[in-house]
């Protein structure tokens, strides 16, 4: 089940610290939303795990976040998190290309490039300040044109200083990524193929170094042709060059790619890309989402049942069946597939949240106890899921536990940055919960966090 959520507060804080981007352009972070999907996140973890281990990281220590953005891009922000645009998944042809991107972005993390952001900014800022001072002196001497010339030259020099620093970081991340892939025994062929896609993008948008010798000066990244020349030789000499990606991992990538396409694209575009005569798993997956978006529940269920017949043990197909039934107003029928999917994935939090939602949607009081158990387990393992907190609050409300309902509301409101509401809910929960209990302490923490955010915003204004 794919869901959307605004960029959470912790993600916005990381993005505000700066970024090191892989692709040609970035969209404003505020316009993006996070896409949460259990199957996609499991693929990211498994595709990245050998690369993280090769770099000396515990794979669980790296967050991989999918953003709803059609541009071909990936980047890192503060902390150990890699952000991948949905457009990159759409553009990649195989999981090896995704692994090449992961390795490159991990190179930014191991290089401390976000932490070292000020190293590039300080020299550029110094040049800018000096040009302002010299320009001011020239203006005071009665030469406004000279003052403007000094200022513009200073701005140009400052930009060149910072962009040269950025290009050096990208080259460093390229080298580190190649090293990680080699240590993990993963071919760099996908990395090369993906860089060729970026090169085609450059040609399409007119980034041609031979036609415009000054083009590289204005770039945050080295020219892709130069990167390809350097990396091609490195990767072709690596023993893993001709090693194919594991067949199961590649099949999972193709399923996720089709699933995201069906979820994000216009249904008619999906049905043209995956016409009815295609009966493979990715095609059925994409069509199921397209039909569901068009409210053709029976057609969506037909595709889903065909998927389950092909692979009865796949919990994500059961999850999709439950989602279609739940969102089509048939929550009681959704319980069995969602219960099975939850069990088969070891209570995966996103799937468990959907199961808890279905239990509540039946409006059967006998299901409240199971819903509470399922949702408490979900938020314990994934605290950054506002919808799970909302559903848990509904359970507490229905069972007459108003203090904990308010605490759950405070959690959800804080994640959605509804600060005044979060503060009121937290204070109300704190006043009613047993003093010194874990829930009472958590209500205190939320209230203090909200007050601190409000105060920082006030001071920044």
Write out the DSSP string of 335-392: HHHHHHHHHHTTS-HHHHHHHHHHHHHTT-GGGHHHHHHHHHHHHHH-TT-HHHHHHH
In whole angstroms, what is the distance from residue 191 CA to residue 184 CA?
14
What is the count of structural domains for the chain?
3
Could you tell me the pLDDT band of residue 202, with boundaries at 50, 70 and 90? low
Q: Are residues 24 and 73 in the same domain?
A: yes
- Residue from 400, 364, 393 nearest 379 by CA: 393
Does 168 map to a domain? yes
Q: Are residues 152 and 167 in the same domain?
A: yes
Q: Are residues 76 and 174 in the same domain?
A: no
Look at residue 32 in the predicted model and tell me its pLDDT: 67
Residue found under tokens 């915003």: 457
Residue found under tokens 């020239």: 138
Does 446 map to a domain? yes
Q: Are residues 135 and 81 in the same domain?
A: no
Residue 437 tokens, joined: 């209990």
Look at residue 23 in the predicted model and tell me its pLDDT: 35
Q: Are residues 128 and 226 in the same domain?
A: yes
Contact 375, 392 (CB under 8 A): yes
438 forms beta bridges with: none
Q: Are residues 87 and 124 in the same domain?
A: no
Does 50 map to a domain? yes
What's the DSSP call for residue 364? -
Residue found under tokens 């999972």: 252
Residue 219 tokens, joined: 């770039």
Mean pLDDT of 392-418: 96
Does 28 map to a domain? yes
Q: In this structure, what CATH number is given to the domain that contains residue 67?
A: 3.30.2010.10
Percent pLDDT > 70 in the chain is: 76
Q: Are residues 72 and 125 in the same domain?
A: no
Could you tell me the pLDDT band of residue 225, with boundaries at 50, 70 and 90? low
> Is residue 167 predicted with pLDDT exceeding 50?
no
Q: Are residues 52 and 71 in the same domain?
A: yes
In whole angstroms, what is the distance from residue 48 CA to residue 52 CA?
6
> Is residue 163 predicted with pLDDT exceeding 50?
no
- Residues in contact with 265: Cβ distance below 8 Å, sequence separation at least 6, in sequence order: 273, 290
Residue numbers of the domain that contains 37: 3-113
| Tens-digit pLDDT profile for residues 344-392 | 999 999 999 999 999 999 999 999 999 999 999 999 999 989 999 999 9
- Residues in contact with 128: Cβ distance below 8 Å, sequence separation at least 6, in sequence order: 154, 155, 158
Look at residue 10 in the predicted model and tell me its pLDDT: 45
- Residues in contact with 25: Cβ distance below 8 Å, sequence separation at least 6, in sequence order: 71, 73
> Is residue 223 predicted with pLDDT exceeding 50?
yes
Does 377 map to a domain? no
Looking at 92, 113, 134, the residue that finishes a domain is 113
Does 95 map to a domain? yes
- Residue from 220, 231, 26 nearest 117 by CA: 220
Could you tell me the pLDDT band of residue 208, with boundaries at 50, 70 and 90? low
Say which residue, 299 or 79, is predicted with more confidence: 299
Q: Are residues 158 and 176 in the same domain?
A: yes
Look at residue 448 in the predicted model and tell me its pLDDT: 96
Looking at 218, 236, 254, the residue that finishes a domain is 236
Q: Are residues 76 and 151 in the same domain?
A: no
Separation of CA 430 from chain center? 33
| Tens-digit pLDDT profile for residues 408-445 | 999 999 999 999 999 999 999 999 999 999 999 999 99
Percent pLDDT > 90 in the chain is: 62
Look at residue 439 in the predicted model and tell me its pLDDT: 96
**Sheet containing 3-6: which strands, arranged edge to edge?**
3-6, 33-36, 63-67, 81-85, 74-76, 20-21
What number of H helices and E strands is found in the chain? Answer: 20, 6
| Tens-digit pLDDT profile for residues 61-91 | 899 999 999 988 888 876 788 999 999 999 9
Does 252 map to a domain? no
Q: Are residues 31 and 132 in the same domain?
A: no
Contact 375, 369 (CB under 8 A): no
In whole angstroms, what is the distance from residue 57 CA to residue 48 CA?
11
Average pLDDT over the chain, rounded to an integer: 82
Residue 122 tokens, joined: 């300080």
Residue 98 is inside which H or E element, if any? helix 95-110
Could you tell me the pLDDT band of residue 27, with boundaries at 50, 70 and 90? very low
Does 363 map to a domain? no
Looking at 113, 135, 158, the residue that finishes a domain is 113
Question: Among 31-35, 162-166, 447-451, where is mean pLDDT lowest?
Answer: 162-166
| Tens-digit pLDDT profile for residues 237-251 | 899 999 999 999 999
Q: Are residues 149 and 108 in the same domain?
A: no
In whole angstroms, what is the distance from residue 321 CA to residue 293 CA?
14
Could you tell me the pLDDT band of residue 310, with boundaries at 50, 70 and 90? very high
In whole angstroms, what is the distance from residue 367 CA to residue 385 CA?
22
């Amino acid at each position: 089940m794919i869901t959307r959520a605004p960029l959470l507060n912790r993600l916005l804080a990381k993005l505000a610290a700066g970024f090191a981007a892989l692709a040609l352009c970035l969209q404003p972070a505020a316009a993006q939303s996070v896409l949460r999907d259990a199957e996609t996140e499991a693929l990211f973890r498994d595709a990245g795990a050998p690369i993280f281990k090769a770099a000396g990281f515990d794979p669980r220590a790296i967050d991989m976040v999918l953003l709803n953005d059609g541009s071909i891009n990936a980047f890192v922000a503060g902390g150990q998190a890699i952000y991948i645009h949905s457009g990159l998944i759409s553009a990649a042809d195989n999981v090896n290309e995704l692994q090449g991107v992961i390795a490159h972005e991990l190179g930014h993390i191991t290089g401390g490039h976000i932490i070292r952001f000020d190293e590039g900014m300080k020299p550029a800022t110094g040049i800018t300040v000096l040009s302002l001072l010299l320009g001011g002196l020239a203006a005071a001497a009665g030469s406004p044109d000279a003052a403007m010339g000094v200022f513009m030259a200073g701005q140009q020099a400052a930009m060149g200083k910072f962009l040269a620093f950025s290009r050096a970081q990208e080259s460093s991340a390229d080298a580190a990524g190649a090293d990680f892939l080699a240590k993990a025994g993963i071919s760099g062929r996908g990395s090369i193929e993906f860089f060729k896609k970026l090169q085609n993008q450059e040609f399409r948008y007119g980034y041609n170094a031979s036609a415009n010798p000054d083009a590289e000066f204005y770039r945050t990244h080295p020219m892709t042709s130069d990167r390809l020349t350097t990396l091609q030789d490195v990767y072709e000499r690596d023993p893993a060059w001709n090693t194919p990606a594991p067949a199961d991992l590649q099949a999972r990538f193709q399923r996720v790619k089709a699933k995201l396409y069906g979820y994000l694209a216009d249904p008619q575009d999906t049905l043209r890309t995956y016409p009815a005569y295609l009966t493979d798993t990715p095609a059925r997956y994409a069509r199921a989402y397209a039909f569901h978006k068009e409210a053709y529940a029976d057609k969506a269920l037909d595709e889903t049942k065909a998927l389950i017949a092909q692979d009865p043990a796949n919990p994500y197909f059961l999850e999709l069946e439950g989602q279609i039934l739940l969102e089509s107003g048939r929550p009681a029928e959704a319980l069995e597939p969602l219960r099975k999917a939850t069990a088969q994935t070891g209570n995966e939090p996103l799937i468990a949240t959907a199961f808890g939602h279905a239990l509540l949607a039946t409006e059967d009081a006998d299901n409240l106890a199971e819903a509470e158990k399922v949702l408490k387990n979900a938020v314990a393992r994934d605290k950054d899921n506002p919808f799970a907190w909302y559903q848990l609050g509904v359970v507490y409300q229905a069972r007459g536990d108003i203090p904990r309902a308010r605490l759950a509301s405070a959690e959800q409101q804080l994640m959605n940055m509804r600060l005044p509401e979060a503060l009121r809910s937290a204070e109300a929960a704190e006043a009613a919960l047993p003093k010194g209990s874990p829930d009472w302490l958590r209500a205190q923490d939320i209230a203090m966090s909200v007050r601190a955010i409000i105060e920082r915003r006030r001071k920044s204004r």
